[in-house]
Amino acid sequence: MLKPAVPPALPPQINYEELISHIGEAHSALGKLNGILVNIPNLELLITPLLTKEAVLSSKIEGTRATMEDVYEYEAEEKQIQNTETEKDVKEIINYRGAIHKAIELLAIKPINLDLLNAMHDILLNSVRGSTKTPGKFRQNQVFIGTSHSSIAKALYIPPDADKVPQYLKDWEKYINSHQEKDLLVQIGVAHYQLEAIHPYRDGNGRIGRLIIPLFLYYKKLLPYPLLYISQYFENNRPLYYANLRTVDQNHQWETWLQFFLEAITTQALDTQKTAMQILLLYSELKKQLYSFGSSYAIKILDIIFKTPIVSFVSIKRQLNVGSNQTIYNLLNKFVQTGILEPDMRRKRNKVYIFRQLMEILR
């Protein structure tokens, strides 16, 4: 049987010569993304859809099956998915997004620290699966990682003893805040691995570890907002993701993992850049069409559907604050007639409208 792991000491010994090209490519891609984001006058257009995409993908790695469509339908007050496994998945995804917002709020007044981890974890497991596993508190007992319903004797990985977790976390907090690593992207790559290795919670460790990545980039001013959906790369390369983490577990050899991590940053920075440009171009094109609508509320509805690309009459009314129901119906009909919105014909009551062009970009 495996013994409880002993994570590598921090700061680590890293051969930077093996990482130079990867570091350069990652910073170049991230710099291009940052250049686009800092010059967007209405960054809010990108925040909700891109955060939702990251939340869906990170949660998918942990086994949820809900899609972005499921999340947006739920938020449009579509009652069809209540009390189902899909609803449970959706609530976990919404909590993930809420944890990011809470972290941004806290980072305005404090650095990335253990209190911030616990605050995010408390939100992450609020009223969802795992809510009985001490949300917002570090574990007090031994846990292990294995296949479903397996025993610790067949564990694939056994994290450190619970009584050693506090010291490992103090070392982690000191490293991510005080240590002057030669490169910031290497630093967050190390910090992500180390948090996974410590496994400080009874549940939700993977999501917390992935949340830290864009938040660190935001805190260190490499991005104006934590809008890098890195979980897509981890999900697309899941076997390699775990294999490279295990490489550090087994021999404390960092370079293979860090090369993979830097490739993830590069790939997802370029992909996020492409997605952001597509969203902004679509917004610009559609905004021009709305002048013919003859209503100041048309632009407001456009802004709403860029944040939540599946809407209902009820959700529009709640956000638009218009007294006349007929005004809303008339505008929604114009959005349908021009092909911007597509009604879901399966719904008889509280009809749902889908902003198909944006959903296609986000896939």
Q: Architecture of 294-362 per CATH? A: Orthogonal Bundle (1.10)
Write out the two tokens for 280. 């902004």
Q: Is the pLDDT of residue 77 over 80?
A: no
- What pLDDT score does 130 carry? 84
Q: Vertex 210, ends 188 and 191: CA angle to 5°?
A: 25
Q: Is the pLDDT of residue 161 over 90?
A: yes
Q: Where are the alpha helices (DSSP H) in 108-254?
A: 114-124, 165-178, 184-198, 205-219, 231-236, 238-251
How do residues 92-129 score in pLDDT, each as one tens digit?
A: 999 999 999 999 999 999 999 999 999 999 999 998 88
Q: Is the pLDDT of residue 326 over 70?
A: yes
- What pLDDT score does 7 carry? 96
CA distances 328 to 286, 292, 312, Å, are: 18, 16, 11
Higher pLDDT, residue 323 or 360:
360
How do residues 235-255 score in pLDDT, each as one tens digit?
A: 999 999 999 999 999 999 999
Amino acid residing at 118: N
Please report, for the chain, the start and end positions of each structural domain, with discontinuous segments joined by +: 16-264, 294-362
What's the average model confidence in pLDDT over 127-135? 88
The domain covering 16-264 belongs, at the CATH homologous superfamily level, to Fido-like domain (1.10.3290.10)
- What pLDDT score does 195 carry? 98
How do residues 168-217 score in pLDDT, each as one tens digit?
A: 999 999 999 989 999 999 999 999 999 999 999 999 999 999 999 999 99
For residue 149, name the pLDDT band (cuts at 50, 70, 90): confident
What's the average model confidence in pLDDT over 354-359? 97
Contact by Cβ (8 Å): 15, 255: yes
For residue 57, name the pLDDT band (cuts at 50, 70, 90): very high
Main-chain phi, psi angles of 316, to 5 degrees: -65, -45
Residues sharing a CB contact under 8 Å with residue 19, sequence separation 6 or more, in sequence order: 183, 186, 255, 258, 259, 262
- What pLDDT score does 148 carry? 75
- 32 C-beta neighbours (distance < 10 Å), count: 14
For residue 348, name the pLDDT band (cuts at 50, 70, 90): low
What's the average model confidence in pLDDT over 35-52? 92
CA distances 171 to 43, 114, 188, 191, 288, Å, are: 36, 11, 14, 10, 54
- What pLDDT score does 79 carry? 54
> What pTM was computed for the model?
0.94
Q: Is the pLDDT of residue 83 over 70?
A: no
Q: What value does the mean pLDDT of the chain take?
A: 93
Percentage of the chain lying above the pLDDT 70 cut: 97
